[in-house]
Amino acid sequence: MKIKDGYMQSTVAGRAVVVPLGHSNTFRNMIKLNETGKFLWTFLTEETTRDALVDALAAEYEIDRTIAERDVDAFLATLREFGVLAE
């Protein structure tokens, strides 16, 4: 899975956000990213797996894998909801 073409992570007023590029996207808003969302976004710019995201998040923030799984699943669900994720 990875981020679909046509979306970009940027910083607006000091906050990380996802914005659509061009007119082909149906999503016309922005998604605010917290620190972990921004971290995960960087991995999703290239093809990756859920397990790789979980491993990276658990290692970076030194958290239990169960917590990392919950956070990754919630983040991926948001991206799917807005149609940003290519699978």
User: What are the residue ranges spanned by the domains of the chain?
Assistant: 2-86
- Length of the chain as a residue count: 87
Enter the pTM of the model: 0.87
Please give the pLDDT value at position 73.
Answer: 98
> pLDDT tens-digit profile of 21-50?
865 555 567 789 999 999 999 999 999 999
Alpha-carbon 37 to chain mean position = 5
Looking at residue 87, its pLDDT comes to 84
- Give dist(CA 38, CA 50) in Å, integer: 16
DSSP-derived secondary structure for 22-86 = SSS-S--S-EEE-HHHHHHHHHHTS---HHHHHHHHHHHHT--HHHHHHHHHHHHHHHHHTT-EE
Helix (H, G, I), strand (E, B) or coil at 13: coil
Q: Which CATH number fits domain 2-86: 1.10.540, 1.10.10, 3.40.50, 2.60.120?
A: 1.10.10
